[in-house]
Structure formats: structure tokens, C-alpha cells
Amino acid sequence: MSFREFFISTEPTMTNLNGNIKPIVSVFGVPYDATTSYRPGCRFGPNALRDAFWKIEVYDRALDVDGEKLPIEDLGNLHPMPEPEQMVDAVSKVTKELLNDGKRPAIIGGEHTLTYGSFSSMPKDSKLIVFDAHFDMRDELYGRKLSHGTFLRRLSEKMNAERFIHVGGRAASKEEWFLVDKIKHITSTELLEGKQFDRLIADDDNLYVSVDMDILDPAFAPGVGTPEPGGISSDMLLRMLRKLRGKRIVGFDIVELDPSYDASGITAIAAASVFSTLCSVASLHEL
Ligand SMILES: [Mn+2]
């Protein structure tokens, strides 16, 4: 029995496989929000993103990639688990198994804690690029060492600082602002003032991409667990993601989509567009 059979149950999926073609991504959902510090509900994110993905146009004109033709394998959702340690362990094992099978994991959250599990299983020569309003570099959050507000701190304790790139930060503790200076980063304010994203990633070729939907201004993405004013637009985010074309994308995740606070559904649609764009970008380079 494989880890994916042990940990994952098949629910509504967005599988689009024609014959025996190798998938460009292998998707699984992580409906987990147990360490959420503000607004709960991102456990419902995976299926909300799937639902939106079925409705949107996925031909990417700028990249000239037809998402309708991209083979996507959707494995379903991770079982509910009470403790974050159990969840990241399961995510880590399924991720590793997929990589060993030559597949590219695409994970839909759920809270950001899952990235601790997935990136821990990524190749040593890969870098993590995080798009997020927060740095998630607190030492602990409400007594928890492993949570959606600490995952990057925990990762940075066991990996070289050169493996991290942070984009879009604007809301953090004083200590986190001190810590983020040790890694490559660009803030929301710098992006909005026109500082170039391109130069930040010029030398990085093997990337795991993690997109927290709260990088967007709440006007564009109200349906997140921890909204922060002063963010960028959906358009600006999608343009940055397209600039990853030509890089080797070893995997990605999209986290913190919270349909409970997304009355218009606009955040789920933005998350589905991020998913579609990352699939298109990933398809342009072999794994
Ligand atoms: Mn965040």
C-alpha cells in the first residue's frame, strides 16, 4: 500500500488525463486549518478551488499554453488529522512518494503549515519562493511551535538561508522583520512602488512555489484566514508568476483560501487562476 492510498481519500477531483500521458502535476488537497489564529475555514479551500477551476478559462494567452489540454492528475484530499505534526508528516511522505515516481506535486490548502511538510521533501538544490503578506517566522504562535505563523521559521532552522525567497510581506512582528533581512525578499510596498521582481529571481532555476492567497489585497481576496490591507492586485500576482517561465518548477502549493469569508467567490476564482497559471508555467520546463 502506498502513502497516498493510506493518507488520501478521493473526493471531487479535477483530473484531466488523456490515455497514458504523464501528468504535468499531481494534485492533492490538504483540508486542514486546526492552527488557524484568526478566521477558521480554509479546510474548505481545496474543493472551493476545484469548483472554481472547472468554471474559468484556462488558456493562457501570455504564455500560449492551453490549460484545457494539460494533463492533471488529482489524487483527492488528505484525511482529517487533529495535530499539525501528523498533517505535515503525511504531506511530507506523500510529496516524497510523488517525487520518487517522477511526478510534480501541486498541493491545495488548507493552512500554510503544510508547506513545512512539502518543502522538507523537496530536492536539496531547490529553493522555496513564498508569496505571502506574512513572513510566518514567529518562534511560536499561541504556544505552538508548528503552526501557520511559524512554518518558515521552522524550515529556516534546518536549511540554508539561501534556499528561501519571500515576496509580498507587509504584516509581521518586529522580530520577523529582523529575521527576513537574512533572506532574499521583496515587500508589498516595494512591489507597489515599482521595485523589480525579475532581478530577485534572476539566478534561481529550481523552485518550489508557495502562494498564500493573503498576499493579495483584501479587495481582491477577502476569503482568507488572515487578511492584511496594503496588498497587491490579482493582476500583479499573475504577472509575477508568469515571470517564472523557463524555470524548473519542482512543485507548488496554494494555501489559506477560506471560502467561509468569500461570499462572492472571488478569492476562489483568483486561487483557481493562480493554480492554472502555475500549471502552465510548470509545463514549460521538464521536472
Ligand atoms: Mn499569510
Residue 84: CATH number of its domain: 3.40.800.10
- pLDDT, tens digit, 9 for 90 and up, residues 95-114: 999 999 999 999 999 999 99
pLDDT-based confidence at residue 242 (cuts at 50, 70, 90)? very high
Cα(69) to centroid(ligand 1), Å:
32
pTM, 2 dp: 0.97
Alpha-carbon distance 203 to 109, whole Å? 29
Cα(20) to centroid(ligand 1), Å:
38
Q: Residue 5, Cβ neighbours under 10 Å: how many?
A: 10
pLDDT-based confidence at residue 171 (cuts at 50, 70, 90)? very high
Count up the domains in the chain and report the number: 1
Contacts of 168 by beta carbon, 8 Å cutoff, 6+ apart:
131, 132, 133, 186, 187, 188, 191, 215, 231, 232
Cα(285) to centroid(ligand 1), Å:
28
Q: Which domain holds residue 140?
A: 3-283
Cα(215) to centroid(ligand 1), Å:
7
- What b/e readout covers 131-146, taking b as 16+ CB neighbours within 10 angstroms? bbbbbbbbeebeebeb
Per-residue pLDDT at 18 exceeds 90: no
- The neighbourhood of ligand 1, an ion, using CB within 5 A, equals 132-134, 212, 214
Cell output for 20: 497514458
pLDDT-based confidence at residue 82 (cuts at 50, 70, 90)? very high
The pLDDT assigned to 198 comes to 94
pLDDT-based confidence at residue 15 (cuts at 50, 70, 90)? confident
- pLDDT, tens digit, 9 for 90 and up, residues 83-95: 999 999 999 999 9
Cα(111) to centroid(ligand 1), Å:
9
Q: How far is CA 231 from CA 91, 118, 167, 177, 274, in A?
A: 29, 26, 11, 17, 16
Cα(117) to centroid(ligand 1), Å:
17
Per-residue pLDDT at 13 exceeds 90: no
- pLDDT, tens digit, 9 for 90 and up, residues 208-236: 999 999 999 999 999 999 999 999 999 99
CA angle 157, 168, 263 (to 5 degrees): 110
Cα(287) to centroid(ligand 1), Å:
27
Cα(169) to centroid(ligand 1), Å:
8
The pLDDT assigned to 11 comes to 73
CB 221 within 8 A of CB 214: yes
The pLDDT assigned to 12 comes to 72
DSSP H or E run through 235:
helix 234-242
Cell 507548488 identifies what position? 252
